[in-house]
Homo-oligomer: A and B are copies of this chain.
Amino acid sequence: MANIKDIARVAGVSVATVSRALSTPSLVRPKTIERIEAAIADLNYEPNHLAAGLRRQRSDNVIVAVPSIHNPFTSAFVEGIENVARANRMRVLLGITEGDLEALNKYASMIAGKQADGMILLETNLPDIVNNPPAQGKVPPIVAACEYPPELRLPRVRIDNLEACALVVGHLAELGHTAIATITGPIGQYMSQDRLSGYKLGLARARLEFNETLVAPGDFSLQSGYDAMVRLLDGGAEFTAVACANDEMALGALSALQHRGISVPDEVSVAGFDDLRFGAFSSPPLTTVHSPTVEIGEAAMRLMLDALLPADQQPPAREVILPHRLIVRQSTGAPGKRRRKG
C-alpha cells in the first residue's frame, strides 16, 4: 500500500504538505492540492488510520454497550447513534454485554487502550470506573442513554418515564377503567422502578387505589408478558385494563388473552410502551407511548461529541429529556362492553 511518503514523492512535495492538504486544505496552495490529489488517485492511496490515530491519540470510535442488540428497542438506539457518528467521521463499535458487569468493564477498558474514545451506555449496569475513578487522570467520556439513579453525574439522555407511564394510566382511567393492572420490567432495574412509579402516580392522580395483586413482574420479553398475563388472569383479582412496561410484553399479553379467548379491548384493554413498529400491526393494534428511540441515540452521540471536545471548549455535562407522546390505537377502549368469561 502506498503511504504518505509515496504521495509526497510523486507529487513533488513534502509529507507535511500532503498531510496538510488532507486535513487543512486551506493552508495549502490550490495548485499544490491538485498535484497531491492526482498522486493520491494515481497510487490509490488511503491514509492509514491506525498511524494517524496513534499520533493523535484518538481512535475515532465510540463503543456502544448494550445488553443485546437482538431487540428492536436497543437497535433503534444504535441506529440513531450511528447516524450522527457517521456524520462526524466517527465509527460505532458494538459491545454486547448480556448484562454481564465484567464484560462491561472490559469494554470500558478499551477506552484506556485507545480502541475507543468514549462509551455510550444502553445498559442497566454501570462500569466500575464511573464509581472508582483512577487516582490520577480523569473519568473517560461516558454517556448514558438509559435510566440511572439521578444522583449520578453523567451526561445523559432519556424520556420522562414517570410522566409517560402516568399518562398511559390516565388514558385508561379516562376511558372509565378503575381496576388497572400492570406488567412491569425486572424489579431490580432502575427503569422498571421508574415506570412502576409512573403507574402508581397515574393511579393516584385518577384517585384509584394501588393494589399489589394487580402487579405482575416480567423481564421485558414477549414470553414474560405472556406469562405475566396468565398469572394475572389466574390470580383471581378483577381488572379491565393492563398497562405494560414495554410493547414486547404487551404483545405477549395480547397473545395470552387471545389464547384464552378474551376479547381486546372489549373485555380487557392493553397498553404498551415504546412504540415498536410491530405494535401498529398487532391484532388489535396496540395503544402505546411513543418513545423517540432513534432520536435518543442521536442525542446521546451528540453528548458524546461534546464530551470529546478539548477540555477548554467543553460544555458542562447535561441531561437531555426528550418528549414522549401517547398513541391511542385499538387495544384500549371503554371497560365493560362485555362481561369477563371466567
Contact = CB atoms under 8 A, between A and B. Distances in A.
A54 B50 contact: yes
A18 interface: no
A251 B222 contact: no
A112 B46 contact: yes
Interface string A101-127: 000000001101111000000000000
Copies of the polypeptide in the assembly: 2
Given A50-B59, A69-B75, A82-B94, A254 B283 contact: yes
A46 B280 CA distance: 48
A48 interface: yes
Interface string A253-292: 0110010000000000000000001101111110000000
Nearest to A109: B46
Interface of A: 1, 44, 46-51, 53-54, 57, 59, 61, 68-72, 75-76, 78-79, 82-83, 86, 91-94, 96, 109-110, 112-115, 134, 137, 222, 226, 251-252, 254-255, 258, 277-278, 280-285, 294
Given A72-B75, A78-B94, A92-B93, 18 more contacts: A46-B109, A46-B113, A48-B113, A49-B115, A50-B59, A50-B114, A51-B54, A51-B114, A54-B54, A69-B79, A70-B76, A70-B294, A75-B75, A93-B94, A251-B281, A254-B281, A255-B281, A258-B283
